Amino acid sequence: MKKSIKQRLVSGLLCTAVPLCIAVMLPGGTLTARAEEQDQQLTTEQKEGATQLSARKDASYIVVIPRQAQIAFDNTSTSIGSLVYEEGNLEPDSYVTVTLSNQTSLAHTIKDSYTIPFMICGEDKTTAFTSVIYDESTKTGTKTPLTAEITQADWEAAKAGSYQATLTFQISYMNPHEGE
Amino acid sequence: MKTEAKKGKRSRPAVGFAAAILLVCSLSMTAFAADESTSIGKGESEQTASTSLSYNVTPDYTVVIPRAVKLSSKDITMQITATKINAEPNYQVQVKVSGGLTEGKVKLARTNDTGYEIYAPLKLGNSSIDSNTAVAAFKEHDTTALPGTGTLTFGAPADADGSADIKAGDYTGTVTFQVAYTLVASTGE
């Protein structure tokens, strides 16, 4: 990695701030209870009857997102942590989508017009990360590594100072059978 | 009845014939009377007779079961009640589980994933039940279930391995009840 000859006062404290770890767990772990509904009568004419049984277990999941990450100076590829599918109990055919819904510029903390272009990528470090899906088949503990990619040219053009960016991840749950 | 009578003289064959007919009729009537009534003639030694009256009341009952029950991670009870019971003294109106019960448990299948099933124990008091268990019993004219019957308890469902950590989703199942008018021992209960 070619370093710029220009002395940089970049202290190496290039931070990408992401929102606080987002742990989302839908109300789960309990089965709802409800009193009996309409009754039916068994008589000399109608000797048999059926009672319909039902139960429900709510879906739940926990996705962990890195709280913050630090990019080392002059690194063209820096791991910023992983999205982790820590827990999940999903309904049939349902899935959780984690989307990078917004990323701010990596901007100088004093002069915000100074920015360093960067791209958040997945494990392959070349494709821009947009979203990942976890479904019923996803094993708990599954990780989705993320990296911050900055070209060497952009490093060399960067002005000295501290820079900061914020990544926002949005989590959504989809049950295609809802309402059926 | 044909008679041929000459003036002043009765025809013997005609009278005999008529008497025979009368006798047949009376015999018939007597036979008929023996089935439906008792004839008491003047001069008979026994001048009293009895008439028996009988009336059959058909047993009747209305037992009520819930149409639907929603299970829970906690025990859920279900009542079987009666709004009408009219049973003979040596009989009971009994309700038994006729379907949906296997080894004391009811089965529920996961919606949109019917290959995955959960099982909830069904008990009468603290006892497991089977198809021979009278889960509700009523006698004579009492709409209150006999002691120890009438209240069923569904336990928390678990998967086939017995784990309460079941998959998320909706589940449905059915349990069928049958009522029977049953002769019981003379001791009654």
Note whether residue A6 is domain-resident. Answer: no
The confidence score (pLDDT) of residue B35 equals 64
| A48-103 residue pLDDT tens | 999 999 999 999 999 999 999 999 889 999 999 999 999 999 999 999 999 999 99
Q: Average pLDDT, whole number, for chain A?
A: 82
Interface of B with A in 165-184 (CB under 8 A): 166-181
| Shortest alpha-carbon distance between residue A9 and chain B (Å) | 54
CA distance B109 to B107: 7
Which CATH number does the domain housing residue A70 bear? 2.60.40
Q: Look at residues A172, A61, A98, A52 and name the one whose alpha carbon lies nearest to residue B167.
A: A61
Number of neighbouring beta carbons within 10 Å of residue A36: 16
CA distance A70 to A164: 9
Task: For an interface test with B, give the residue of A37, A46, A57, A93 to mutate (most B CBs within 10 A).
Answer: A57
Could you tell me the pLDDT band of residue A179, with boundaries at 50, 70 and 90? confident
Q: Is B24 helix (H, G, I), strand (E, B) or coil?
A: helix
State how many domains chain A has: 1
Contact B67, B143 (CB under 8 A): no
Residues of B in contact with A40 (CB under 8 A): 64-67
Note whether residue A34 is domain-resident. Answer: no
Q: Which amino acid is at B142?
A: D
Which region, left, alpha or beta, applies to residue A159 given φ > 0 means left and ψ of -120 to 50 means alpha?
Answer: beta
| A137-174 residue pLDDT tens | 999 999 999 999 999 999 999 999 999 999 999 999 99
The confidence score (pLDDT) of residue B186 equals 59
User: Regarding predicted confidence, which is higher, A19 or A16?
Assistant: A19
| Shortest alpha-carbon distance between residue B175 and chain A (Å) | 5
Q: Is A141 helix (H, G, I), strand (E, B) or coil?
A: coil
CA distance A35 to A55: 12
Comparing alpha-carbon positions, the chain A residue that sits nearest to B68 is: A52
The confidence score (pLDDT) of residue A156 equals 95
Task: Please give the ipTM for the structure prediction.
Answer: 0.74
pLDDT by residue for chain B (189 residues), tens only, comes to 333 334 444 444 444 444 444 433 333 333 344 467 888 888 888 888 888 888 888 899 999 999 999 999 999 999 999 999 999 999 999 999 999 999 999 999 999 998 999 999 999 999 999 999 999 999 999 999 999 999 999 999 999 999 999 999 999 999 999 999 999 975 444
Domain hosting residue A144, numbered range: 14-28+56-174
Note whether residue A65 is domain-resident. Answer: yes
Question: Which residues, in sequence order, are CB contacts of A45 under 8 Å at separation 6+?
Answer: none
Comparing alpha-carbon positions, the chain A residue that sits nearest to B58 is: A44
Cβ contact (<8 Å) for B99 and A49? no
Note whether residue A43 is domain-resident. Answer: no
Residues of B in contact with A26 (CB under 8 A): none
Note whether residue A96 is domain-resident. Answer: yes
Note whether residue A180 is domain-resident. Answer: no
- Give residue ranges of A with CB < 8 Å to any B CB: 28, 30-34, 36-44, 47-60, 89-94, 177
CA distance A14 to A168: 17
Question: Which residues, in sequence order, are CB contacts of A151 under 8 Å at separation 6+?
Answer: A76, A117
Element of type H or E holding A102 = strand A95-103
CA distance A100 to A171: 9
The confidence score (pLDDT) of residue B2 equals 38
The confidence score (pLDDT) of residue B55 equals 83
Q: Return the structure tokens found at A119.
A: 């791209």
Contact A64, B83 (CB under 8 A): no
* Average pLDDT for A129-135: 97
Cβ contact (<8 Å) for A30 and B73? yes
The confidence score (pLDDT) of residue A6 equals 25
Nearest neighbour of B67 by CB, restricted to A30, A34, A39: A39
Ordered structural domains, chain B, with CATH = 1-54 (no CATH), 60-183 (2.60.40)
The confidence score (pLDDT) of residue B65 equals 97
Residues of B in contact with A48 (CB under 8 A): 98, 176-179
Interface residue B60 vs chain A (CB under 8 A): yes
